[in-house]
Amino acid sequence: MGHLARYLRYNKPLHHTTTVTRTPRHHHINEQKVDHSVEALCAQGCSKVHGFIEKLKHGQKLPETRGLSSWERAKVLEILVDVMDTYQACRHPTLDH
């Protein structure tokens, strides 16, 4: 799933240079650090990713997000939600109707 996460997020080759983007409030986001955290979280499987999403939504820090700013953790959360919304084979049981 890690490669899927990267593909869905960037739709470009897995190996790219570090980029730093600016959020609307001029906070720097290190895309390489965000990518690394997303890959580490996604590598643990769908069922765990749903739990990570819930923890991040409640402001909890995870070992895989250690060293990230609050803006970078928010970006990790955004990417994880997007990936799980797109990845049809892994639905959260309590969210399916």
Query: What does the pLDDT read at residue 25?
Result: 55
Q: Please, which pLDDT band fits residue 86 given cuts at 50, 70 and 90?
A: confident
- 72: amino acid identity, one letter: E
Structure confidence by residue, pLDDT tens digits, 5-56: 555 555 444 444 444 455 455 568 899 999 999 999 999 998 899 999 999 9
- 63 and 21 Cβ atoms separated by less than 8 Å: no
| Alpha carbons 18 and 28: distance in angstroms, whole number | 12
Phi, psi of 46, rounded to the nearest 5 degrees: -55, -50
Is this structure's pTM higher than 0.95?
no
